Amino acid sequence: MKAILVVAFIVSCATITVNASMVGGFKDQDASAPEYHAHAWKAVKGINDQASNNGPYYFVPIKVIKAQTQVVAGVNTKLEVLVGESSCKKGEMQAHELTASNCQAKDGGNRAIYQVSVWEKPWENFEQFTVEKVRDVSADEQI
């Protein structure tokens, strides 16, 4: 009888663990939500400061592919962002001046996926971005 109770307990714990999301872990979000696109535009400076974008044109966000958040001492947001080469030349404007209205991705330009991490503590007016190139994307690849 004891053995049956122990087995039943182990099975129920395993079921709970498999079906429950980890407390404090990252949760998937709707990647099309406007706030994630706004974060992608704020990360443009970091993306263009990377040595991986050594071309003459700025990269700009095309699409947020994936969004996840984690509540900690503030909010951590992880994004996968498809970026593309724009028609805006480096040296003619600063990266922090780029917006969706003044700089568009050009057709046939280089593309890449970047992981953008944002740590925010709004009550302290704190925002920290880190960016990392994941991979280049070929012109014919659909994302």
71-126 pLDDT, tens digit per residue, is 988 999 999 999 999 999 998 998 888 999 999 999 888 999 999 999 999 999 99
Name the least confident of 8-12, 17-21, 96-100, 117-121: 17-21
3-class secondary structure, 62: strand
Give the pLDDT confidence score for residue 114 in this predicted structure: 95
What CATH number has the domain spanning 27-137?
3.10.450.10
Residue 51: pLDDT band by 50, 70, 90 thresholds?
low
Phi-psi map region of 83: left, alpha, beta (phi>0 left; psi -120 to 50 alpha) = beta
The contacts of residue 1 (CB under 8 Å, 6+ apart) are none
Average confidence (pLDDT) over 47-56: 79
pTM score, whole prediction? 0.79
Average confidence (pLDDT) over 4-13: 48
Both tokens assigned to 20: 């429950």
For the chain, list the strands marked E by DSSP.
27-29, 57-72, 74-89, 111-121, 126-137
Cα 22 → chain centroid? 20
Give the pLDDT confidence score for residue 83 in this predicted structure: 95
* Domain spans, the chain: 27-137
With 0-12 / 13-18 / 19 or more C-beta atoms within 10 angstroms meaning exposed / middle / buried, residue 99 is exposed
Give the pLDDT confidence score for residue 1 in this predicted structure: 58
